[in-house]
């Protein structure tokens, strides 16, 4: 059996100009990055586009090490819609180098449902992540230079909230000391790094509506405060224009293709467990203007990515999703039902039934946003008819349609039934998107609403420091913004060991930080971290290049 990278490398890719033509663009409308990648200037998409297309979200159950295949299903669905004569555009996030070389691996799909060129997308691609890391680093450098001379803003070195960023998993950088080396080394202070996918610059990048809006959002970033607690914003440091220059080209969506030849806009990459987990608003809007239907994905399970897609991205961008696909696998449901990863092969209908409560929770949650859910059971060769029937029965209990899909082995052909189900759901006109909570409620009420309605928690417990932070943030004008809850992806709770659909728990919020430029606040729960570490055997140990060919990516 060929690996994902072998399938991708053996594929015959179409010239990127041909892919652009499928979106109504000619060669002068795109900026090629070689033969198979290009950028679409935002103003071109606005000028060339027509009436808005339809929007479909792909989300999933709570992820497990067994795998769910959300990106793979997204690609297969887009290719299937193309086979049905639609004009789809796929909108995905860019992979982060940290997970690529860490545990998760790449994020370009798999099998016959991939975006290509796979190794380019998973590595440096068009340089967007480097631009975001550089813009973040520039603000960090100017901030410390301001401390050194002359600190006209009155920044308190012990109250700086702006971290540094790098696009790599590196636990040793979570807490560092900077400014050592004597008088010329700067102001000594404690600092730390976040991974680029958790940077507020990434969040801003993915929600900005053009360069002017980008600069305004960069100005609003809160970098720290004075000794009296008055917030200091990046605008007072005078560097937003230079940061926007670094981000100028990156702001234009990246155009690539699926193995089936469907246009794919792969742009932006915030994590969903510590950020809002969606591709850029610019790419989604371009897809809606240039295609009939956009298939987009939100990270991790629906409790994280979908909730943030609906409550943050759709609210900010005025988007109107008409259907949501919830991806599940028999293997993952078995794990949620208590089966160890090493024992997933044999048939276990009881475990599937026990784990299906997780799927049912996500079905109920998606409906709370007024969007009809369709369950896509991503087929594995080890799945049995009895296990599939158990999943269908769990869906039938809630009146949710379930479709068996085979994106990995069948590509678009393996997702035709799913494409039909999604299209029929949109044609039925039952969607009536609404966010979970209104904007004009307080931050604590918003946290309680998400915790109770989406996670199934009894409530929220705030650490004393978090309660003070919320009070300060509301005083700084951030009361009416959405909340972005940073939580483990493995459980509805903030405890990754509580699988299935736990009950009788509370969510512990230990820290609340501003993302004023992005337009939300981040509430950190449990033991979630903004800088991942590498595992005992990171994927980087398998990646190599031999005779000019990249190997080991997956």
Active site residues: 70, 72, 93, 104, 272, 300, 380, 408
Q: How far apart are CA 324 and CA 345, in angstroms?
A: 29
Chain length of the chain: 554
Residue 159 three-state SS = helix
Residue 519 three-state SS = coil
Q: How far apart are CA 90 and CA 296, in angstroms?
A: 6
Pairing type for strands 54-60 and 321-328 reads parallel
Residue with tokens 């610019």: 282
DSSP for 10-70?
Answer: HS-PPPHHHHHHTTT--GGGSEESSSS-EE--HHHHHHH--S--EEEEEEES---TT---H
Contact 521, 475 (CB under 8 A): no
Distance of CA 486 to the CA centre of its chain: 12
Residue 194 three-state SS = strand
**Strand runs labelled E in 95-221:** 109-110, 113-116, 164-166, 176-178, 189-191, 193-195
CB atoms inside a 10 Å sphere around CB 399 = 8
Q: Give a three-class secondary structure readout of 74-119.
A: HHHHHHHHHHCCCCEEEEECCCCHHHHCCCCCCCCEECCEEEECHH
Say which residues have a Cβ less than 8 Å from residue 328's Cβ, sequence separation at least 6. 60, 61, 68, 359, 375, 376, 377, 378, 391
Contact 200, 186 (CB under 8 A): no
CB atoms inside a 10 Å sphere around CB 440 = 7
Distances in Å between the Cα of 421 and the Cα atoms of 56, 84, 132, 366 are 12, 12, 38, 16
Q: How far apart are CA 362 and CA 373, in angstroms?
A: 9
Residue with tokens 């339809």: 54
Say which residues have a Cβ less than 8 Å from residue 75's Cβ, sequence separation at least 6. 90, 109, 113, 114, 115, 258, 259, 262, 264, 407
Contact 329, 380 (CB under 8 A): yes
Contact 301, 61 (CB under 8 A): yes
């Amino acid at each position: 059996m060929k690996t994902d990278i072998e399938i991708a490398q053996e594929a015959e890719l179409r010239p990127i100009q041909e892919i652009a033509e499928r979106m109504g663009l000619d060669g002068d409308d795109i900026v090629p990055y070689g033969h198979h990648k290009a950028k679409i200037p935002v103003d071109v998409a606005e000028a060339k586009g027509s009436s808005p297309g339809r929007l479909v979200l792909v989300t999933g159950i709570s992820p497990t090490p067994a795998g769910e295949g959300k990106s793979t299903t997204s690609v297969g669905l887009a290719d299937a819609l193309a086979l049905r004569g639609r004009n789809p555009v796929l909108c995905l996030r860019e992979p982060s180098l940290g997970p690529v070389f860490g545990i998760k691996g790449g994020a370009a799909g798999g099998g016959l449902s991939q975006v290509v060129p796979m190794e380019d997308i998973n590595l440096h691609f068009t340089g967007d992540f480097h631009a975001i890391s550089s813009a973040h680093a520039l603000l960090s450098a100017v901030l410390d230079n301001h401390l050194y001379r002359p600190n006209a803003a009155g920044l308190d070195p012990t109250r700086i909230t702006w971290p540094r960023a790098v696009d790599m998993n590196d636990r040793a950088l979570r807490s560092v000391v900077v400014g050592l080396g004597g008088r010329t080394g700067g102001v000594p202070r404690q600092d730390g790094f976040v991974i680029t996918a958790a940077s507020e610059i990434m969040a801003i990048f993915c929600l900005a509506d053009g360069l002017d809006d980008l600069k305004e959002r960069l100005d609003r970033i809160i970098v720290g405060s004075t000794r009296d607690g008055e917030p200091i914003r990046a605008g007072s440091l005078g560097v937003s224009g230079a940061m926007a220059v670094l981000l100028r080209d990156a702001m234009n969506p990246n155009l690539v293709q699926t193995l089936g030849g469907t246009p794919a806009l792969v742009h932006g990459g915030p994590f969903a467990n510590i950020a809002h987990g969606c591709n850029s608003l610019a790419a989604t809007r371009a897809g809606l203007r240039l295609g009939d239907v956009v298939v987009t994905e939100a990270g991790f399970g629906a409790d994280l990515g979908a909730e943030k897609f609906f409550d943050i991205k759709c609210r900010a961008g005025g988007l109107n999703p008409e259907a949501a696909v919830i991806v599940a696998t028999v293997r993952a449901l078995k794990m949620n039902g208590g089966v160890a990863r090493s024992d997933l092969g044999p048939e276990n209908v009881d475990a599937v039934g026990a784990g299906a409560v997780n799927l049912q929770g996500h079905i109920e949650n998606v409906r709370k946003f007024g969007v009809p859910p369709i369950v896509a059971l991503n087929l594995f060769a080890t799945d049995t008819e009895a296990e599939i029937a158990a999943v269908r029965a769990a869906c039938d209990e809630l009146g949710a349609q379930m479709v068996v899909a085979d994106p990995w082995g069948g590509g678009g052909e393996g997702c035709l039934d799913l494409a039909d189900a999604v299209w029929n759901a949109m044609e039925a006109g039952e969607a009536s998107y609404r966010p979970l909570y209104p904007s004009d409620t307080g931050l604590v009420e918003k946290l309680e609403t998400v915790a109770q309605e989406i996670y199934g928690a009894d409530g929220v417990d705030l650490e004393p420091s978090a309660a003070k932070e919320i009070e300060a943030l509301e005083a700084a004008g951030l009361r009416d913004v959405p909340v972005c809850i940073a939580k483990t992806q493995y459980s509805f709770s903030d405890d990754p060991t509580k699988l299935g659909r736990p009950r009788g728990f509370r969510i512990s919020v230990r820290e609340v930080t501003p993302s004023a430029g992005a337009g939300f606040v981040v509430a950190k729960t449990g033991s979630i971290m903004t800088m991942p570490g590498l595992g005992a055997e990171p994927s980087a140990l398998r990646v190599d290049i031999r005779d000019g060919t990249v190997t080991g990516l997956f």
